[in-house]
Structure 1
Amino acid sequence: MILPLQVRSCLPSAIRSLILQKKLSIRNTSGMAGNPGLLPASVVVLHRSLAPAFERFCQANSVPLPLLGRSKPGKWTSPALGGDSGTRTGCLQFWKYEFGACTGSLTSLDEYSEQLKDMVAFFLGCSFSLEKALKEVGLPGRGSADYGHDVGAYKTAVPCTSIAGFCCPLVVTMRPIPKDKLERLVQASASIGGEHGQPIHIGAPDLLGIEDISRPDYGEAAVCQPEDIPVFWPSQLTSLEAVSCCKALLAFTSAPGCTVMTDLKNTKAPASCLTPEGIPEVHHISQDPLHYSIASASAVQKIRELETLIAMDPGIRGIGHLLCRDELLRASLSLSHARSVLVTTGFPTHFTHEPPEETDGPPGALALAAFLQALGKEVSLIVDQRAWGLHGKLVEEAVEQGVLKARIPVLTYRGGSEEAAQAFLCKGGDPKSPRFDHLVAIERAGRAADGNYYNARKMNIKHLVDPIDDLFLAARKIPGISSTGVGDGGNELGMGKVKEAVKKHIRNGAVIACDIEADFAVIAGVSNWGGYALACALYILNSCEVHRRYLRKAIGAPRAPGEQNWTRALPSVAKEEQMLGILARHRVRSGVTGRVGMEVDGLPFHGVHAEMIQKLLDVTTGRM
């Protein structure tokens, strides 16, 4: 039974008094969470010796554990409760813990009065009401407290920030949301609940370490319909796991759903007050496993500006016909979630020269690698075996010149079977244990439908190219590995996603079109520009608090982008000039003219490429 309407309208102190006098025959107070002006709180009672550490633990994990106040040892007053001192019995039900194990439930703590003299009560807010947001977008509260159910909550594999003996996993609640209402619901919940209203994960439960969504650790499971997307929010039930993990001699918590009504008021701003920096947008980035990401409207707009910039067609190749909206955005969101990235490049178009490589590709690949390094991700480069020595020198000199912070592994692959590709991509060949989360090809020769590799002039260069395409093919069958292809002509690895447009609109397209598809196809006037744009997009995303909060699952304190020195890792005119100088010293040539020097695809660095880099930086850092 849920609180009747006439009781819900009572003052918090009156509700506490009714509970104290045993005049309410109810099961829980969850239904009060959505009432205007009422902020419910859960209670944690610990020995005074543990209180300082628990307070710091709550401050370090403030989203799932918003601390409203604490009492002094032996006292039960708090600013959250005014002068009320009936909390020992003013909660419907308590759970008792001994050495970390829950050993029973109580309706009153009066029998422990002596022990409570040395104990401190903490009051944790649970002010966000998803029910209000659900109603705002026209959704019923399936499995909600308004319908007489305790919402299902799950222990995850996401560790909270540890303090002293408090070390536990994050607990989350899940609601199934119809796909067509997803973004509206996320925006409504953010406007109502602020940072507490924003979800920490949208998609497959196993990405959070939840093995069976039908078996919650607390409450009752909500049933997903065919078009529903599982959406997860941080839960203050995390406090129960914290109490259990600290293994205190004696501790108490309010039972799930049995909150105390506080005297505090909800002062969240209405939706119309959200700025573009705070409005979340939801974007689908993976189908297997199902995964959505979030970024602010302002961050998304900046990345779209980058996509427009790099779509300039200085070679008049007709690449405008290949463009797909938001491929740069989705690729960068996917990369932002990745832990380990494999980058490949190399287009041996000059088959009569040594080396046959061109200047388009390696600068973009290393610019992206530099920013991935700055984000703390593992990054490796994979190239043709015959070009392994060249790229090893390029990496070494890039480190010496400050283009890269540290050396990255340079790998090769010459396997010729699906099993060999899977063995390369996965630990022990096990598809459940991929070594890489994301593969990126930047101006990498791509296999055509006839099995050959062609430059723009229809010349077959298969004898110079190793079958790295097989890794991209294998990745499409391995859950958890996404891929991006960056190209400027349609014959590059990954451009299979737009091959029909290549055949129709690109010169020699019927012959040269790459047949191998990537999840995301980033089209650029020069492929290096795509690499620069991906690095810039990652900067924008990781400077966006909405996205950073989603990445860290609302755990830990937010850190300002300036603390990371990410700006230094961005592409720059000076660094890319150094990179082209390194390529020139190794006799790597321009793709169109075959000249050695400060040139890419027949276009001079100064006046064309340098100008593009500066435009990308201006959008990225807000100097436009």
Structure 2
Amino acid sequence: MDDVIGEALDRLICVEMRYASGVPRGIIHRLYDAARAEAGRPLTTLATELLVKAVKPGDRVLIVTGAGAPPFLPYGETDGPLGAVAIAHALDLALGAKPIFLSEERNLAPIAATAEAAGLSVLAEDMFAARAASAMCVPLLMAPEDWEGQAAALVEQHRPAAVIFVEKGGPNDKGRFHTITGNGRDRTVMASADALADAAGRAGIPTIGIGDGGNEIGFGRVTEAVAEIQEFGRKCRCGCGGGIGTIVRTDVLMVAAISNWAGYALAAGIALATDRPDALHDLGIESDMLAACARAGAVDGLNGRQMRGVDGTTAETQIAVMTMIHNIVSNARRPLRREF
């Protein structure tokens, strides 16, 4: 996939649709510009190239998602699972990979329901290893359990070709997790997925981070930009003395107005790079995924309602974005002979 298409996908997924108040506005294009300047090329192109180079048939890929904590987000939010599943669907169809989803145990039911809506059977490891169109779900440990030991064991057990983080919070330099509005959380309520990023780095395994605010794993690549751009970038509300930005880096960072959309763009990139257009899920599957995710307990991450919406945008908006992504893919594959 060339940089022209990567740039188009990047720009489409960064269209911001935030509420008039209550959450930071006017920040996505600035965060994207910082990440794009640091990377030097379109972020979707870089992430696509990383996966197509690293992943071979039969390889396992760890995909970490699931944002929020009880009581407001008891089973996570609808932003994250759909993007993670879109990537898994593309990896399965186009690259023959074996996707494994990881999150807090409370979030696994919506993730599994979303995967099954996309045609990926969520199975125990023996069956997962034996057949295509399948996935596994693995719970991540939280404090006071040995999350660092688990991360090392996961890397050793699965020897993943890549590790991808989709809308997964990472700690700041004080070791605290934060919401976009500056509220802090400790390691007893959030899985320490940063340990998996560290374990992957030590093993030389490539990583991708996807986020929409600066507090998600991957934004360690542009910590100063997050501090400058976000309202609580330098000083949060919890008293820890740090801002919301995470220090956790990945090899590639993708920025989007909604993290799911970056997952869709990456699936589109894989579809183009492998000439497998069916690797990008269709509009009917998109609708089914969102409905399944919400039915299983996930809520809209901005208004906290269990509904077919994502970060304050409607189901129809998700279909519209997917329609435009499909149009980009279709036209990118079709030469035009214009005689006028």
Is there any run of 5+ residues in structure 2 with no aligned partner, and where? 19-24, 122-131, 235-242, 335-340
What residue in structure 1 maps to residue 7 of structure 2? 304
Choose from 374, 377, 392 the match for 2:97: 377
Determine if contact 1:342/1:439 at 8 Å carries over to the other structure. Answer: yes
Is it true that 1:438 corresponds to 2:162 in the alignment?
Answer: yes
Is it true that 1:493 corresponds to 2:221 in the alignment?
Answer: no
Determine if contact 1:495/1:521 at 8 Å carries over to the other structure. Answer: yes
Deviation at 1:400, TM superposition (A): 7.9
Q: SS in structure 1 opposite 2:46?
A: helix
Tell me which amino acid in the other structure corresponds to 2:140: Y
Is it true that 1:473 corresponds to 2:198 in the alignment?
Answer: yes
Choose from 285, 288, 304 the match for 1:594: 304
Deviations 1:304-356 (A, max 9, x none): 2111211222223412222214222111111112233110110015x324634
Higher Rg of the two aligned structures: 1
Task: State the alpha-carbon separation in 2 of the partners of residues 391 and 589 from structure 1.
Answer: 12
* Moved beyond 4 Å, runs of 4+: 417-420
Deviation at 1:445, TM superposition (A): 1.7
Q: SS in structure 2 opposite 1:464?
A: coil
Is it true that 1:424 corresponds to 2:154 in the alignment?
Answer: yes
Q: Return the structure number with greater relative CO, CA threshold 8 A, min gap 6.
A: 2
Deviation at 1:443, TM superposition (A): 0.8
Tell me which amino acid in the other structure corresponds to 1:515: I
Task: State the alpha-carbon separation in 2 of the partners of residues 518 and 436 from structure 1.
Answer: 15
Deviation at 1:395, TM superposition (A): 3.4
Determine if contact 1:348/1:464 at 8 Å carries over to the other structure. Answer: no
Deviation at 1:361, TM superposition (A): 0.5
Deviations 1:2-52 (A, max 9, x none): xxxxxxxxxxxxxxxxxxxxxxxxxxxxxxxxxxxxxxxxxxxxxxxxxxx
RMSD of equivalent CA atoms? 2.4
Deviation at 1:419, TM superposition (A): 5.4
Task: State the alpha-carbon separation in 1 of the partners of residues 169 and 244 from structure 2.
Answer: 10
Task: State the alpha-carbon separation in 1 of the partners of residues 147 and 259 from structure 2.
Answer: 29
Distance 1:575 1:309, change over 3 A: same
Deviations 1:415-466 (A, max 9, x none): 6465553332125xxxxxx711211111112222211111112222333311
Deviations 1:495-544 (A, max 9, x none): 1111211110012122211111111110001100000000000111112x
Determine if contact 1:441/1:484 at 8 Å carries over to the other structure. Answer: yes
Task: State the alpha-carbon separation in 1 of the partners of residues 313 and 233 from structure 2.
Answer: 23
Choose from 449, 454, 459 the match for 2:173: 449
> Mapping of 1:206-285 within 5 angstroms?
none
The aligned length equals 294
Deviations 1:43-80 (A, max 9, x none): xxxxxxxxxxxxxxxxxxxxxxxxxxxxxxxxxxxxxx
> Mapping of 1:126-205 within 5 angstroms?
none
Tell me which amino acid in the other structure corresponds to 1:319: I
Choose from 83, 108, 117 the match for 1:364: 83
Q: SS in structure 1 opposite 2:134?
A: coil
Task: State the alpha-carbon separation in 1 of the partners of residues 251 and 210 from structure 2.
Answer: 11
What residue in structure 1 maps to residue 240 of structure 2? none
Deviations 1:534-565 (A, max 9, x none): 0000111112xxxxxxxxxxxxxxxxxxxxxx
Deviations 1:71-122 (A, max 9, x none): xxxxxxxxxxxxxxxxxxxxxxxxxxxxxxxxxxxxxxxxxxxxxxxxxxxx
Q: SS in structure 2 opposite 1:622?
A: helix
Structure with greater strand share of residues:
1
Structure with greater helix share of residues:
2
Distance 1:330 1:450, change over 3 A: same
Q: SS in structure 2 opposite 1:444?
A: coil
Determine if contact 2:302/2:311 at 8 Å carries over to the other structure. Answer: yes
